[in-house]
């Protein structure tokens, strides 16, 4: 099985919740802006705004083989970042479908919706 079969481009919020509960080692990368992160965030997520990705890509370079799940508000920006990371050699990157909004609806209602 190649990495793309093992790691489809999208993963559901329920699957991400299961990953967290299983103590699977992965990076939850939040690509929203700081003010969005301050409004609502998933515990343990690492903020790296999409607007800063180009200048801060080096922070992720050592993690090219790590499992990275990218999330944003509804899934649009995170899909762009997922595709961009895959295009520069990150092999285990997935987009969290529906973003933090779906997380709030389906996994953790204590996370504010906005």
User: 72, 96, 97, 100: which one is catalytic?
Assistant: 72
What number of other Cβ atoms are within 10 A of residue 110's Cβ?
Answer: 7
Can you spell out the DSSP letters for 19-38? Answer: HHHTT---EEEE-S-HHHHH
3-state helix, strand, coil in the chain (%, to 5): 45, 15, 40
Task: Answer yes or no: 72 catalytic.
Answer: yes
Catalytic residue list: 72
């Amino acid at each position: 099985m190649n990495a793309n079969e093992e790691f489809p481009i999208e993963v559901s919020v329920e699957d991400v919740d299961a990953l967290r509960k299983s103590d699977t080692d992965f990076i939850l990368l939040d690509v929203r802006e700081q003010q969005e992160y301050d409004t609502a965030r998933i515990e343990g997520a690492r903020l790296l705004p999409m607007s800063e990705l180009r200048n801060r890509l080096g922070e992720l370079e050592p993690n090219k083989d790590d499992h990275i799940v990218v999330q944003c508000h509804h899934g649009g920006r995170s899909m762009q970042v997922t595709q961009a990371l895959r295009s520069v050699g990150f092999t285990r990157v997935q987009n969290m479908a529906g973003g933090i909004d779906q997380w709030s609806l389906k996994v953790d209602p204590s996370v504010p919706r906005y």
